[in-house]
Amino acid sequence: MLCFISEKIVDLIALDVLKGGAPVFEANPGLGFISRGLLAAGLQRLFLCEPSLSLSQHLKVNMELNLWIRFFEKGQS
């Protein structure tokens, strides 16, 4: 169910964002279901802000090879 919901959200976002090439700032991406979907859809720039240290580490491990992602962590400006 969660993957189905994230796919629908990605479809809605991708329709608008991919046309103009605008970056996306995703707050609280959690496990990154939507983040991965946006990148798979062709998003060029993705900024993630995850306040949970454990989830942030999970995202970095699972998405570190993607050069289009920039992470923002708690206390970082």
**Rounded Cα–Cα distance for residues 76 and 15 (Å):** 31
pLDDT top residue among 2 and 63: 63
pLDDT at 1 over 80: no
Rounded Cα distance between 72 and 6, Å, is: 22
Q: What is the pLDDT of residues 17-30, one digit of tens each?
A: 777 777 888 899 98
The pair phi, psi for residue 27, each rounded to 5°, is -90, 135
Map out the domains of the chain with their CATH numbers.
Answer: 2-72 (3.40.50.150)
pTM of full prediction above 0.85: no
- Say how far apart CA 4 and CA 7 lie, in whole Å: 5
Burial 30-45 (b: 16+ CB within 10 A, else e): bebbbbbbbbeeebee
